[in-house]
Amino acid sequence: MCLLKPRIAGAAVCSLVMFAAAPAYADCFDEAAAYQHVNPTILRAIAWQESHYRADAVHKNANGSIDYGLMQINSIHLSALARYGIGQEALMTPCKNVYIAAWQLRRQVVKYGNTWAAVGAYHSATPALRDDYARRIAAIVERWGMGSASASASGMPAP
């Protein structure tokens, strides 16, 4: 049993141990989002943007880094994940990948608040790239009829 509070950076790792064997990764979006206090619709939209829900997606970036799995977790995070016993192979397990993405999104929410900037920072800390990515995720959410950028005071669809 994990004794860490969900808001502590790295706490998603404990949930990986508890939920790694979940057979249907669709539920992982809701579970990971609830555990990390992030929006499950945003997580799903990120998965659509990143891989079109392809759990086996791998992409080599121009800078030499590699994105892995459903949520396209970048290899730049491997050293931080290694501290929790998570290696590259775990990134290809859909449910683990979603939990790691929720952890990463939560880290950005802690930094930027519950804003579109946090969503964009999932992809990049560079302001222009961050803002473009946030607009793409917002457009996906809007196309799905799940909210709009002006739907709430924070600019985020309600969880």
Cβ burial of 83 (10 Å; 0-12, 13-18, 19+) is exposed
pLDDT tens track for 120-157? 999 999 999 999 999 999 999 999 987 654 443 344 55
Mean pLDDT confidence for 89-109: 96
Backbone angles phi, psi at 148, to 5 degrees: -140, 165
Q: Which two tokens stand for residue 98?
A: 């979603």
Residue 28, pLDDT > 60, answer: yes
> For residue 30, what are the CA distances in angstroms to 65, 82, 84, 86, 127?
28, 25, 22, 21, 29
Residue 17, pLDDT > 80, answer: no
| pLDDT of amino acid 148 | 56
Mean pLDDT confidence for 100-104: 97
Backbone angles phi, psi at 58, to 5 degrees: -140, 135
What whole-number distance in Å separates Cα of residue 74 and Cα of residue 104? 10
CATH class held by domain 11-104: mainly alpha
